[in-house]
Chain A
Amino acid sequence: MSDQRVLTLRVLRSSPGEGLAPHWEDFRVEEAEGMTLFIALNEVRETLAPSLQFDFVCRAGICGSCGMLIDGRPGLACRALTRDLGPVITLAPLPVFELIGDLSVNTGKWMRGTAERLQTWIHAQAEPDLTALEAPMEPALAEAIYELDRCIECGCCVAGCGTLRMREDFVGAVGLNKIARFRLDPRDTRTDEDFYELIGDDSGVFGCMSLLGCHDVCPKGLPLQTQIAFLRRKMASTGL
Chain B
Amino acid sequence: MASSLEQSTVARPVSGEPTMNAADAALPRHPRLRASRWPARLDLLQSLSGLLLALFLIAHMFFVSSILISPQAFHTIARFFEGAAFLAEPRPWIVSCVVGVVMALFMLHAWLALRKFPASFRQYRIFIEHKEQLRHSETGLWWIQLWTGFALFFLASVHLFGMLTQPELIGPYESADRIWTGNMWPIYLLLLFAVEIHGGIGLYRLALKWGWLQGADPLAGRRRLRIARTCFSLFFLGLGLVTLLAYVQLGIAHADRAGERYVPHKASSRLAEHGRPGGLEFALSRRPGE
Residues of chain A having any CB pair with chain B under 8 Å: 69, 72-73, 95, 106, 108-109, 112-113, 116, 119, 121, 123, 160, 162, 165-167, 190, 193-194, 196-197, 200-202, 204, 206, 208-213, 216-217, 223, 225-226, 229-230, 232-233, 235-236, 238-240
Q: Give 17 pairs: A residue, B residue, CB < 8 Å, sorted on A.
A: A69-B133, A73-B134, A108-B15, A108-B16, A160-B134, A165-B127, A197-B33, A197-B34, A197-B35, A206-B42, A206-B43, A210-B209, A212-B208, A213-B139, A225-B214, A225-B218, A233-B211
Provide the residues of chain A in CB contact with B36, threshold 8 Å. 201
B126 touches A213 (CB 8 A): no
Within the complex, which residue of A121, A196, A208, A223 is in contact with B33, where a contact is CB–CB below 8 Å?
A196
Query: Measured between alpha carbons, how far is A113 from B18 in the docked complex, in Å?
Result: 8
A226 touches B43 (CB 8 A): no
Q: A166-B118, A240-B44 are contacts. A226–B16 as well, Cβ < 8 Å?
A: no
Nearest CB to that of A196 among chain B residues? B35
A210 touches B205 (CB 8 A): yes
Provide the residues of chain B in CB contact with A112, threshold 8 Å. 15-16, 18
- The yes or no answer to B274 lying at the interface (CB within 8 A) is no
Q: Which label, helix, strand, loop or mixed, suits the secondary structure of the A interface?
A: helix
Query: Measured between alpha carbons, how far is A162 from B135 in the docked complex, in Å?
Result: 12
Nearest CB to that of B208 among chain A residues? A210
A239 touches B41 (CB 8 A): yes
Nearest CB to that of A206 among chain B residues? B43
Q: Which label, helix, strand, loop or mixed, suits the secondary structure of the B interface?
A: helix
Nearest CB to that of A231 among chain B residues? B211
Within the complex, which residue of A123, A160, A202 is in contact with B26, where a contact is CB–CB below 8 Å?
A123
Q: Could you give, for residues 218-232 of chain B, a 1 whenever the CB lies within 8 Å of some chain A CB and a 0 otherwise?
A: 100010000000000
By Cβ-Cβ distance, the 7 closest A-B pairs, closest first, are A239-B40, A229-B211, A109-B15, A72-B133, A206-B43, A201-B39, A166-B123
Q: A160-B136, A197-B35 are in contact. List 12 more A-B contacts (CB 8 A).
A: A109-B15, A119-B22, A167-B123, A196-B40, A206-B42, A211-B136, A211-B139, A212-B208, A216-B138, A226-B218, A239-B40, A239-B44
**How far does the Cβ of A119 sit from chain B's closest Cβ, in whole Å?**
5
Query: Measured between alpha carbons, how far is A202 from B142 in the docked complex, in Å?
Result: 17
Which B117-167 residues have C-beta < 8 A from chain A? 118-119, 123, 126-127, 130-136, 138-139, 142
Of the candidates A200, A210, A223, the one having the most CB atoms from chain B within 10 angstroms of its own CB is A210
Provide the residues of chain B in CB contact with A119, threshold 8 Å. 22, 25-26
Provide the residues of chain A in CB contact with B265, threshold 8 Å. none
**How far does the Cβ of B181 sit from chain A's closest Cβ, in whole Å?**
42
Provide the residues of chain B in CB contact with A123, threshold 8 Å. 26
Query: Measured between alpha carbons, how far is A230 from B38 in the docked complex, in Å?
Result: 19
**How far does the Cβ of A89 sit from chain B's closest Cβ, in whole Å?**
14
Provide the residues of chain B in CB contact with A230, threshold 8 Å. 211
Query: Measured between alpha carbons, how far is A197 from B139 in the docked complex, in Å?
Result: 28
Within the complex, which residue of A166, A201, A233 is in contact with B210, where a contact is CB–CB below 8 Å?
A233
Of the candidates A72, A196, A239, the one having the most CB atoms from chain B within 10 angstroms of its own CB is A239
Provide the residues of chain B in CB contact with A196, threshold 8 Å. 33, 35, 40
Provide the residues of chain B in CB contact with A73, threshold 8 Å. 133-136
B43 touches A72 (CB 8 A): no
Query: Measured between alpha carbons, how far is A123 from B42 in the docked complex, in Å?
Result: 30
**How far does the Cβ of B160 sit from chain A's closest Cβ, in whole Å?**
26
Q: Could you give, for residues 95-132 of chain B, a 1 whenever the CB lies within 8 Å of some chain A CB and a 0 otherwise?
A: 00000000000000000000110110001001100111
Q: A229-B209, A239-B37 are contacts. A166–B126 as well, Cβ < 8 Å?
A: yes
Within the complex, which residue of B16, B22, B34, B136 is in contact with A213, where a contact is CB–CB below 8 Å?
B136
Within the complex, which residue of B29, B38, B134, B210 is in contact with A72, where a contact is CB–CB below 8 Å?
B134
Within the complex, which residue of A108, A225, A239, A240 is in contact with B208, where a contact is CB–CB below 8 Å?
A225
Query: Measured between alpha carbons, how far is A109 from B26 in the docked complex, in Å?
Result: 21
- The yes or no answer to B3 lying at the interface (CB within 8 A) is no
A240 touches B41 (CB 8 A): yes
- The yes or no answer to B10 lying at the interface (CB within 8 A) is no
Query: Measured between alpha carbons, how far is A206 from B133 in the docked complex, in Å?
Result: 25
Provide the residues of chain B in CB contact with A233, threshold 8 Å. 210-211
**How far does the Cβ of B42 sit from chain A's closest Cβ, in whole Å?**
7
**How far does the Cβ of B80 sit from chain A's closest Cβ, in whole Å?**
36
Q: A196-B35, A201-B35, A223-B218 are contacts. A229–B136 as well, Cβ < 8 Å?
A: no
Provide the residues of chain B in CB contact with A232, threshold 8 Å. 43, 209-211
Within the complex, which residue of B15, B22, B127, B209 is in contact with A166, where a contact is CB–CB below 8 Å?
B127
Provide the residues of chain B in CB contact with A208, threshold 8 Å. 209
Query: Measured between alpha carbons, how far is A193 from B33 in the docked complex, in Å?
Result: 7
A211 touches B142 (CB 8 A): yes
**How far does the Cβ of B119 sit from chain A's closest Cβ, in whole Å?**
8
Nearest CB to that of B145 among chain A residues? A209
Query: Measured between alpha carbons, how far is A67 from B136 in the docked complex, in Å?
Result: 18
A210 touches B138 (CB 8 A): yes
**How far does the Cβ of B9 sit from chain A's closest Cβ, in whole Å?**
15
Which B3-57 residues have C-beta < 8 A from chain A? 14-16, 18-20, 22, 25-26, 29, 33-44
